[in-house]
Amino acid sequence: MRTSLPVVLLAICRVVSVVAEDDLPCSVETSPTQIRLAYWGDHGMAVSWNTKHKLARPTVWYAPDVGNHGNNDSLNKKASSDISVTYPTSSTFNNHVVIDGLAPHSSYLYRPQCGNKTYRFTTARSAGKGPSGLKFAMVGDMGTMGPDGLSTEVGTGAANPLQPGDLNTIQSLLAYAGHYDFVWHVGDIAYADSWLKEEKGGYITPLNKTDNGAVYDRILNEFYDEIEPISRSTPYMVGPGNHEANCDNGSDLSICIPGQLNFTGYRAHWKMPGSFSGGVENFWYSWENGPVHFIQFNTETDFANAPDEPGGEGAENAGPFAPSGAQLAWLEKDLAGVDRKKTPWVIVGGHRPWYVSSSPCIECRDAFEPLFLKYGVDLVLHGHKHFYEREAAVGPLGATIQEIDGNPTLPWYIVNGAGGHYDGLDTPAAHVNTSRKVIVEYGWSLFTVHNCTHLTTQFVASKNGSVLDTATLVKDRKCNVAGWN
């Protein structure tokens, strides 16, 4: 049963690659779904979408948005690639096209081939350039919403269902769309691996280990459908979390089949600027927007004792994705190359936290903290714990703690894995000396970069949009960033 599926898929691929041409007639098989964007420097945008058929030359039509809203005729430029990929157990092909040669901080209309609708995106500001007003949404551990994910019901072993009338986090992010430049999802993305827990808990179809990954694939597809109203207009930057690593939520690996292992779906679905920034795929990379240098790093694999690697604490049996030492070597090179005159702010994100009230990732701290201290990182964002915990600024191994309104020299830490998925919320184990605010509610974080000295975070409760925490990091520095003071 299990081994027969890849054979079937291979057969389908072969047939499709014969007929799929540039001018393949548009049909439901080639209609773009699950459209998602990612920054590609300040002159580009990666456009990704899924189709039922493989495309021979995935193509995006586009044009500057100069008030010609929705007029297809004006989309007279095209960008193409040959990236249309699938994997065992997947019912779709992932198409990726990078549009290059765009102007910074400019709006474009675009339409993937065979699409019936035109959408709009805005490129990133150049490093060190205005206009001011950069905002971004940050979310962790979000997962699929609805009957196969977080809803007003739970199965055995799960908790914290939504209450009637609550908005879920995807709905809340959508309600705020247009008020942030991009979304940063710091790992644990679709929670398709919860299929096992959901079946064991009697929440969805009875436990069926021989469905060849059909429910896993269904939950993944639902997630990408659900975020599409956001991700087709707003760059959606992602990083790896443990729930991308395999199918089984950390136990009983014998149930996993190939398409569910080793970050396979994660690698296929996204087109983060790894190669653009000298990093690796969607695992570690950087990008800039105005006064900020952003870095996504990987707490799952590719450093000493990484939790998801074979033998690691997470038992996910995944990775590595580069030669030993490559991630940290890249991170140091990237940090050393930041021009703090242009991007005074350095903000990094990685899934597992080490300053937090329950089970810190000590091996992550040991790997990454020395570089964050050495290069004066301003802010470190994490998910993984299913609550919100704002820390102080903190330094070597927790020995020194500074408050964020007093020109801290140490990195400030925020943990927010409260996006809300089938499994529910966590309870912080014990207060730690770095902790400044803990909220156990589904929510996401809105960041505002006011200028080069002030940066504010707000925790938004998904269910009603209330801001439950606000804090501002204040740096005492002189800057000369055009349009930013």
Ligand X SMILES: *[C@@H]1O[C@H](CO)[C@@H](O)[C@H](O)[C@H]1NC(C)=O
Residues in contact with ligand X by CB under 6 A are 26, 31, 70-72, 116, 196-197, 200, 206, 208, 210-211, 214, 248-251, 262, 310, 317-319, 321, 398-401, 433, 441, 450-451, 453-454, 461, 463-464, 466, 485
CB neighbours of residue 304 within 10 Å? 11
- State how far the Cα of 218 lies from the Cα of 259, in Å rounded to an integer: 13
Query: Measured from the CB atom, is 204 or 414 closer to ligand X?
Result: 204
The distance of closest approach from Cβ of residue 298 to ligand X in the complex, given in angstroms and rounded to an integer, is 13
Query: Measured from the CB atom, is 60 or 335 closer to ligand X?
Result: 60
Query: Measured from the CB atom, is 147 or 310 closer to ligand X?
Result: 310
**What's the per-residue H, E or C state across 339-356?**
CCCCCCEEEEECCCCCCC
In sequence order, the 6+-apart residues with CB closer than 8 A to the CB of 398 are 355, 433, 434
CA dist 311 → 303, 308, 316, 318 (Å):
13, 8, 9, 10
The distance of closest approach from Cβ of residue 395 to ligand X in the complex, given in angstroms and rounded to an integer, is 9
Query: Measured from the CB atom, is 235 or 320 closer to ligand X?
Result: 320
- State how far the Cα of 204 lies from the Cα of 160, in Å rounded to an integer: 17
The distance of closest approach from Cβ of residue 465 to ligand X in the complex, given in angstroms and rounded to an integer, is 8
And the tokens for 284?
Answer: 């570690």
CA dist 195 → 198, 205, 213, 241 (Å):
5, 9, 9, 17
Asked if 445 and 462 count as a contact pair (C-beta separation under 8 A), the reply is: no
User: Does residue 203 come out as left (phi exceeding 0), alpha (psi in the -120 to 50 range) or beta?
Assistant: alpha
Query: Measured from the CB atom, is 41 or 112 closer to ligand X?
Result: 112
Query: Measured from the CB atom, is 251 or 324 closer to ligand X?
Result: 251
Query: Measured from the CB atom, is 96 or 385 closer to ligand X?
Result: 385
The distance of closest approach from Cβ of residue 72 to ligand X in the complex, given in angstroms and rounded to an integer, is 4
- The strands making up 107-112's β-sheet, listed across from edge to edge, are 77-80, 59-64, 107-112, 119-122
The distance of closest approach from Cβ of residue 155 to ligand X in the complex, given in angstroms and rounded to an integer, is 11
Query: Measured from the CB atom, is 107 or 208 closer to ligand X?
Result: 208
Query: Measured from the CB atom, is 71 or 409 closer to ligand X?
Result: 71
Instruction: Decide: residue 474, CB within 10 A, 0-12 exposed, 13-18 middle, 19+ buried.
Output: middle
- State how far the Cα of 135 lies from the Cα of 458, in Å rounded to an integer: 11
The distance of closest approach from Cβ of residue 337 to ligand X in the complex, given in angstroms and rounded to an integer, is 26
The distance of closest approach from Cβ of residue 219 to ligand X in the complex, given in angstroms and rounded to an integer, is 14
- State how far the Cα of 359 lies from the Cα of 353, in Å rounded to an integer: 9
The distance of closest approach from Cβ of residue 404 to ligand X in the complex, given in angstroms and rounded to an integer, is 14
